[in-house]
Structure 1
Amino acid sequence: MVLERRSRRLESLEDEAFALIGSGGYVASEADALADAVLALSLGKNVLLQGPTGSGKTKLAETLSWLFAQPLYAVNCSVDLDAEGLVGFKTLALKNGQSVIEYIPGPIVKAMKQGHFLYIDEINMAKPETLPLINGVLDHRRTLTNPFTGERVQASEGFGVIAAVNIGYVGTVPMNEALRNRFVVIEVPYLGGARLRQLLWEQSRLKDGLLLDRFVQLSADLQEQIRSGQLAEEAGSVRALLDACDLAAYMEPLRAIRMAITDKLEDERERALAANLAETLF
């Protein structure tokens, strides 16, 4: 049903350029993860993708955008995020030789008016006092009172919200209950085993089967150390593993791992542990 809808949607957009439409390619660590996200969005639910850094949350959001053929407007949260970053801002513009104040809509207003998807990345990085501005956007009302224009914005049909959260990551704050209750939660754990090998084969430049098997094992070893608290979560990033595989297609694997994974770790002890795990395999 979703693919049929996607085909019809693409036909209606064939004469327009939407650079923000994501691409497919997400490989789920659990068979139900992608299907659950599709179902939730189809029912008009807000989806919260929860998992460690580098587990593929953004790739999943892009794949959902691709499946629904819906442009994806992104908000990248940080402690500096304010109302302007969410709903837009006013600026001076020159019209007919005169200076006028012009309102530039932000990603939330654009997504709501056009009935497209909104992606709020690292939602728990934002200051707690910033996000209540969009509570009405996230509940059954699907409305927003624009603080800069006074306009009451009603979301158009097709509007959907996807957010991503890294639990316990440095710089994050706990999501308040009122905000969290507006989402359905989908866990996005790290990939492993055959599914990870499939992703590395399809999305990296490395085509040596033996080396790919060793990279899959390296990932499993790193994840085991992460679970035991010996390594930071970024050591298990699938994104970093893909970088290492790409580099390993052209250079010695240990050098590639050092550049893509090991040297990104800030703690010297963690760097030594990751390097030791790599050396036992390569």
Structure 2
Amino acid sequence: MQNNYNLPDKINELLNTAKRPDDQMFQELIREGGYVPPNTDLLTDAITALSMGKNILLKGPTGAGKTKFAETLSNLFSQPMFSVNCSVDLDAESLMGFKTLAYEDGKQVIEFVPGPVTSAMNGGTFLYIDEINMAKPETLPLINGVLDYRRTITNPFTNEIITANEGFNVIAAINEGYVGTVPLNEALKNRFIVIDVPYLEGEQLKDLIRTNTRLHDSRAIDLFATFSNDLIQAVYQGKLSEDAASIRALLDACDLSVVIPPKRAIIRAIADKLEEEREREFVRNLADTLF
């Protein structure tokens, strides 16, 4: 692919390396971040968007590795990352910071403690907004100016106008269709480049298990990869909820299986988390078949 955009040399080098997934240095950077992409396009597109100063929205099922993907991008760009975990309780203080009493030269003064948004903007670093569609619709418009070309915000607690320093980037993640989530309004969604993050499968999943768990037995890793694929297919067929196919939960089961029997590890890490007995029984039966 011919790159006609005048990107910094460091980013061009990163993009070129991303096209050579077998490059040893690149693989080490990926593993340090903890996310192994299912294909290089996923990584190349995310790097391209961030290097152009665009916000990216990672969309995918729970446990697919969206947070790890964000951490890997932060690592590749050598950028620290401040995080916001959205919920219905998210408010302006959770985003911007808060005032508190402090002492200076023996006198009581009011001091402002910066939150993740102001810290990332002032530091010129990454901001990660997790489960952005869990926040109340009236909360997020506060940061609309942060997410568009202006890259500015008026701090409601100090009336200071903050303009993001160079290097500031926003990565958000979304789980669609979950209880408590709300659809993103068009004004907010249009401020992002959307990147669909699928479940890891096949060799990529096996490599993730080898590098991120205590399980190193090749046959056991193959069985867990097959088990994961069967769970994913069951999710696609509507037989299981997305929670059942969480890669995060699968890695927990792999770790436990080093000490306890694999079937019991699957019950503890995956099956018993599910709400419906029908789903728990499905997972237990699948584990019995394979292990």
Give the one of 254, 262, 266 matched to 1:253.
262
- Return the alpha-carbon distance in structure 2 between the equivalents of residues 132 and 241 of structure 1: 36
Partner of 1:222: 231
Deviations 1:153-198 (A, max 9, x none): 0010110000000011121110000000000000101011111111
- Return the alpha-carbon distance in structure 2 between the equivalents of residues 81 and 123 of structure 1: 10
The answer to whether residue 74 in structure 2 is matched with residue 57 in structure 1 is no
| TM-superposed deviation, 1:94 | 1.9
- Return the alpha-carbon distance in structure 2 between the equivalents of residues 169 and 30 of structure 1: 27
| TM-superposed deviation, 1:29 | 2.0
Partner of 2:281: 272
The answer to whether residue 190 in structure 2 is matched with residue 163 in structure 1 is no
Give the one of 157, 164, 171 matched to 1:148.
157
- Return the alpha-carbon distance in structure 1 between the equivalents of residues 79 and 262 of structure 2: 39
SS at match of 1:94: strand
- Return the alpha-carbon distance in structure 2 between the equivalents of residues 51 and 275 of structure 1: 25
- Return the alpha-carbon distance in structure 2 between the equivalents of residues 57 and 113 of structure 1: 25
| TM-superposed deviation, 1:36 | 1.0
| TM-superposed deviation, 1:114 | 1.0
Deviations 1:178-221 (A, max 9, x none): 00000000010101111111111111111111111110111011
Give the one of 170, 182, 192 matched to 2:201.
192
| Structure 1 unmatched ranges of 5 or more | 6-21
Partner of 2:211: 202
With normalisation by structure 2, the TM-score equals: 0.89
SS at match of 1:2: helix
| TM-superposed deviation, 1:251 | 1.6
Cα distance change, pair 72–23 in 1 and its aligned pair in 2 (3 A):
farther
Partner of 1:18: none
- Return the alpha-carbon distance in structure 1 between the equivalents of residues 228 and 286 of structure 2: 10
| TM-superposed deviation, 1:24 | 1.6
Partner of 2:137: 128
The answer to whether residue 50 in structure 2 is matched with residue 46 in structure 1 is no
| TM-superposed deviation, 1:2 | 3.4
| Structure 2 unmatched ranges of 5 or more | 1-9, 15-30
| TM-superposed deviation, 1:232 | 1.0
SS at match of 1:93: strand
Deviations 1:211-262 (A, max 9, x none): 1111011101111111111111111111111111111111211011111111
- Return the alpha-carbon distance in structure 1 between the equivalents of residues 50 and 239 of structure 2: 37
| TM-superposed deviation, 1:3 | 8.6
Aligned residues: 266
Partner of 1:78: 87
> Does 89-98 or 248-257 show the bigger shift?
89-98
Deviations 1:4-46 (A, max 9, x none): 68xxxxxxxxxxxxxxxx9423111233111111111001100
Give the one of 49, 70, 88 matched to 2:97.
88
- Return the alpha-carbon distance in structure 1 between the equivalents of residues 121 and 33 of structure 2: 23
Root mean square deviation, CA, Å: 1.4
SS at match of 2:289: helix
Counterpart of 2:191, as a letter, is R
Residues 61 and 119, structure 1, Cα contact 8 Å, conserved in 2: yes
Identity of aligned residues (%): 63
With normalisation by structure 1, the TM-score equals: 0.92
> Does 95-104 or 161-170 show the bigger shift?
95-104
SS at match of 1:247: helix
